[in-house]
Amino acid sequence: MIQESSEDRHPFLKGLSKHRGAPPTVVVIFGASGDLTARKLVPAIFNLGIDNLLPGEFHLIGYGRKPIEDEAFREMMDAAIEEFSRRPLNKEIWERVRQNMTYHAGGYDEAEAFASLAARINKIEADLGRDMQRMFYISTPPSVFEPIIKNIGSSGMAQAHVHTKLASKVVVEKPFGHDLESARDLNKAINGVFEEPQVYRIDHYLGKETVQDLLVQRFGNSIFEPLWNREYIDCVQITVAESLGVGSRGGYYDSSGALRDMIQNHTMQLVALTAMEPPVSLDPESIRDEKVKVIRAIQPLELKAGGGDVVRARYTNGLVKGEPVKGYLEESGIPKDSTTETYAAMRLAINNWRWQGVPFYIRSGKRMARRASEIAIQFKRPPGILFSEGDKFNVAANTMVISIQPDEGVTIVMNSKIPGLETRTQPVKMHFRYSTTFGSNTPEAYERLILDAMVGDSTLFIRGDETEASWKLVTPVLKHWEACGEHGLQDYAAGSWGPLASERLLWERRHQWRRSG
């Protein structure tokens, strides 16, 4: 059997985590024949196995509509490990995980299929002679989230075990709703079956090492925090750029768009972690309380045709890394009359003591010049007394760039004297690179998140009120864009840094987008 682990043997768990090892667990993945299961979930579980982080008694049940034999499912997962695992196949470990993997076919709204799932779990427990925690991982299209949750409830599987008190838990993938109202409805449906501490809403950005490190950078160093406010910071720019297009996900993407797909969740989490107040402790509720407070402090966005605080755009054909690529409307599965944005940018005003008057510019898009997610903190310039000629100011503003991916690291841009007999200055960079200091084989986001959910640490998951606060901010934008249709939807060439109109958001405040990288 796979042994329980200790934190000492696994230094990557140190710091923010308080892992104690997970109790015996049955994980049920709904949507088991889908892409995420093969690309991320099962490879993450296998890698937890390599690190000795799976519980001693562990079973995985794939649940899906397609009838698949247990062995055929295992073979599908063999291929997934081969193709997507972070580390190469370790036969012994994989065999141990694989032996404890089965498949259960059934509809998502079929009560009998859930009753037989419950019977199957009971049998696994009876064979082992002990209770197991049940972890339901919902990785299906959102249209079936609610029936799944309802059926978990009515089949009795959400209840804790009577004697051992081992609770059940539910992990819910994104998209969590498509606007404020649907997110509230989904929260209601979930909270009708599970208590909030049993609910783990996924935002995989929170599983990224660099995103977790934001808290350490901010609150584990005394040199940054005194400067982290309106006195010293001029603006904050958050970019989540992808060079990929929509690929084979056209159907999903066209009903979503950049605002729902990236801004409401991933980008807003980066805003929250950058702007939040220090939590009183590192326990999940203290951190999530601070995040929700800061999201609520963001002012409603000004929406007007051709102006205001938001910009949306769609890519046309162009060149990405020198290769010609199609425009969004030519991608497969995209209706010719689509008005879905593949790029969104916003100017946020956080109206609290720390941030009043400091714009937070955020942008996210597909088919941009390159993949780059970063948070750039632009500090105010020093007084221009010493290093200016006439009206020309000769020192650049200091910038701290936290690079989330790829090239994970932190760069500080500062001014230095160019060696020579004159006093001339030049911006220079101080770099910290994760890969140089720590090596490059860091855990995948899903490894951390699945482990945390199993051990019951919800710090890196989104609380119900947090997701609603974020939807509350973006829903008026979605409605406005819907009403505008094509009007105001800008173009940008694939391979560029987005539409010219997004520069306006910054020019209006005498700022300029940083060129990433």
Catalytic amino acids? 266
Q: Which tokens in the block code for residue 203?
A: 């935002």
Strand partners, 359: 349
In whole angstroms, how close is the CB of 150 to ligand BG6 at the nearest point?
A: 25
**Shortest Å distance, C-beta 61 to ligand BG6:** 25
Counting contacts by CB under 6 A, is residue 468 touching ligand BG6? no
Burial classification of residue 226, based on how many CB atoms lie within 10 Å of its CB (0-12 exposed, 13-18 middle, 19 or more buried): exposed
The smaller minimum CB distance to ligand BG6, of residues 242 and 290, is found at: 242
In sequence order, which residues have a C-beta less than 8 Å from that of residue 26 and are 6 or more positions away?
58, 59, 60, 61, 121, 124, 125, 132, 133, 134, 135
Output the CA–CA distances (angstroms, integers) from residue 359 to 235, 292, 480, in the order listed: 5, 19, 22
Whose CA is closest to 173, among 364, 453, 470, 465? 453
User: Among 57, 261, 444, 452, which residue interacts with ligand BG6 (rule: CB under 6 A)?
Assistant: 261
In the complex, least distance from residue 174 CB atom to ligand BG6, rounded to whole angstroms: 6
The distance of closest approach from Cβ of residue 242 to ligand BG6 in the complex, given in angstroms and rounded to an integer, is 6
- Phi, psi (deg, nearest 5) at residue 372: -160, 120
Residue 88 carries which side chain, given as an amino acid letter? P
User: What is d(CA 491, CA 501) in angstroms, rounded to the nearest whole number?
Assistant: 9
Q: State which residue, 321 or 510, has the beta carbon closest to ligand BG6.
A: 321
The CB-of-262 to ligand BG6 minimum distance in angstroms stands at: 6
User: What backbone torsions phi and psi does residue 187 show, to the nearest 5 degrees?
Assistant: -60, -40
Closest CB to ligand BG6 among 146 and 261?
A: 261
Residue 459 CB, shortest distance to ligand BG6, in Å, is 19
Using alpha carbons, select from 127, 74, 119 the residue that is nearest to residue 96.
74
User: 142 is written with which tokens?
Assistant: 């959102």
399: tokens are 């910038």
The distance of closest approach from Cβ of residue 209 to ligand BG6 in the complex, given in angstroms and rounded to an integer, is 12
Judged by CB, which is closer to ligand BG6: 370, or 381? 370
β-strands 399-405, 372-379 pairing: antiparallel
Q: Does 242 bind ligand BG6 (CB under 6 A)?
A: yes
Contacts (CB under 6 A) with ligand BG6, residues 79-138: none
Q: Is the peptide bond before 406 cis (omega within 30 degrees of 0)?
A: yes
The answer to whether the CB of 31 falls within 8 A of the CB of 64 is: yes
What distance in Å separates the CA atoms of residue 387 and residue 510, rounded to the nearest whole number?
21
DSSP codes of every residue in 280-329: SSSSHHHHHHHHHHHHHTBPPPPEETTEETEEEEEEESEEETTEEE--GG
Handedness of CA 416, 419, 421, 422 (dihedral sign): negative
Residue closer to ligand BG6 (CB basis): 90 or 405 = 405
Residue type, 439: G
- Compute the least distance from the CB of residue 270 to ligand BG6, in Å: 11
| Shortest CB 239 distance to ligand BG6, Å | 12
Site for ligand BG6 in 137-176 (CB under 6 A): 174
Cis peptide before 11 (omega within 30 of 0): no
From the list 154, 162, 516, the residue with the least C-alpha distance to 370 is: 516
Closest CA to 81 of 97, 70, 103: 97
Instruction: Decide whether 247 or 384 has the Cβ nearer to ligand BG6.
Output: 247
Report d(CA 154, CA 135) in Å as an integer. 16
Q: Which residue number has the CB closest to ligand BG6?
A: 261
Query: How many other C-beta atoms lie within 10 A of the C-beta of residue 195?
Result: 12
Give least dist CB 261 to ligand BG6, A: 5
Residue type, 73: F
Structure-token match 């599983």, residue found? 207
The residue among 74 and 174 lying less far from ligand BG6, judged by its C-beta, is 174
**Alpha helix segments (H runs only) across 160-249:** 180-191, 209-219
Q: Does 374 bind ligand BG6 (CB under 6 A)?
A: no
Q: Is 499 helix (H, G, I), strand (E, B) or coil?
A: coil
Binding residues for ligand BG6 (CB under 6 A): 174, 242, 261
